[in-house]
Amino acid sequence: MPPVNTSAPGAFSFPVRVYYEDTDMAGVVYYAGYLRFLERGRTEWLRDLGVEQLGLAQEEGLVFAVRSLNIEYLKPARLDDALAVLTELTLPGRAQVTLRQWIERGGETLVEATVRIACLDTKTMKPTALPAALRKKMGGP
């Protein structure tokens, strides 16, 4: 899918197309579908930084988990819409990061979200510090 125009050139942008499976009986994207789009945006943001989550889990024993999410649904997306999922780091931390994410259609914001992601040790499933190299890739201290 070609890139979609966005209103934030500095943020990482990932294109998403709305499929029938994403919509509800009213023909608009079901509210939980936006959470999947946001997850894809975060995953592709990490991939763009050179971070493969499977490798991180297998080699470093680290995974990411959503700690909190605040979302505002502003306007509906519909079947076959070409969307852009935008992601930017707003607060880097030692064991968690806060991201601003939003979904646009042609530069118009449809959804806004603030997501806190925690880094967890796969053995204990407790928060642990992000490796320094990973924090640096994300733009943190």
pTM for the structure as a whole: 0.90
Using one digit for the tens of pLDDT, what is the confidence trace for 61-100?
A: 999 999 999 999 999 999 999 999 999 999 989 999 999 9
Domains of the chain: 12-138 (3.10.129.10)
Model pLDDT, residue 7: 53
Question: For 67-105, b where at least 16 C-beta lie within 10 A, e where not — what string?
Answer: eeeebeeeebbeeebbbbbbbebeebbebbbebbbbbbb
> Which has more confidence, 5 or 48?
48
- Which residues are the active-site residues? 24
Q: What tens digit of pLDDT does each residue of 26-69 get?
A: 999 999 999 999 999 999 999 999 999 999 999 999 999 999 99
